[in-house]
Amino acid sequence: MPGLWILKWIDRNIEKIVVLICYVAMAGIIFVEVIRRFVFKEQAAWSTTIPIYLFLWVTWMGAAYNTRIRTHLRFDELRVRLPYGAQFACLCLDVVLWLVFGIIVTVYSIEQVQLSYDNFAIVQGTDDVMQWWFYLATPVAWTLLMVRALQNLWEDWRTFRAGEPFKLQVSILGD
């Protein structure tokens, strides 16, 4: 399938792309507006709010990425000492907890997005930039985070069935 490589590339890189775009935009806005403030004694009214809203995308997509690479909220120092079956059980428990928490976050954040959308909430200092565009980061990234947790479960299931050792990170530094 010719288009399959595109989907695989997106799967491997979507979080990094979104984080990079938002981080560069944040840094660019802050840099330009600091120069404008101190050199020209003027500043765009939205320059202090847009970077904060972009940070929502950076934070939640970063959480999804770190779940994908298995570095977000892990306690492998204890797991590595457990028997093989208990290690797998803990990995399954991780996924269950991610899904339960993710469903709660997604449901309530969708309500926030809907409320912002229904009330035509505009970002402070702008005339037509909608807040819901930024609030959408939470349900989108948490949905992706849950997909990443399920992808990890699939990989763990295959590893368990093959009897191979799990990829547990013994140290927070990756050693």
Write the pLDDT tens digit of every residue in 109-135: 999 999 999 999 999 999 999 999 999
Q: Is 120 left (phi over 0), alpha (psi -120 to 50) or beta?
A: left
Domain membership flag for residue 175: no
The token pair at 6 is 């595109």
Q: Is residue 130 helix, strand or coil?
A: strand
Task: Note down the domain range covering 151.
Answer: 4-68+77-162
CA dihedral 54, 56, 58, 63 (to 10 degrees): -170
- pTM of this prediction? 0.87
Classify each residue of 90-125 as buried b or exposed e, where b means 16 or more C-beta atoms within 10 Å of its C-beta.
bbeebbeebeeebeebbeebbeebeebeeeeeebee
In a domain, 169, yes or no: no
Q: Is residue 92 part of a domain?
A: yes
For residue 88, tell me if it sits in a domain: yes
Residue 137 placed within a domain: yes
- Residue 33 within a domain: yes
Token pair belonging to 74: 């892990």
- Is residue 37 a part of any domain in this protein? yes
Predicted local confidence at residue 161, as pLDDT: 94
- What is the tally of structural domains in the chain? 1
Q: Is residue 119 part of a domain?
A: yes
Give residue-wise pLDDT tens across range 13-54.
999 999 999 999 999 999 999 999 999 999 999 999 999 999
Provide the CA 154 distance to its chain's centre, in angstroms. Answer: 20
Phi/psi for 122 (5° steps) reads -110, 140
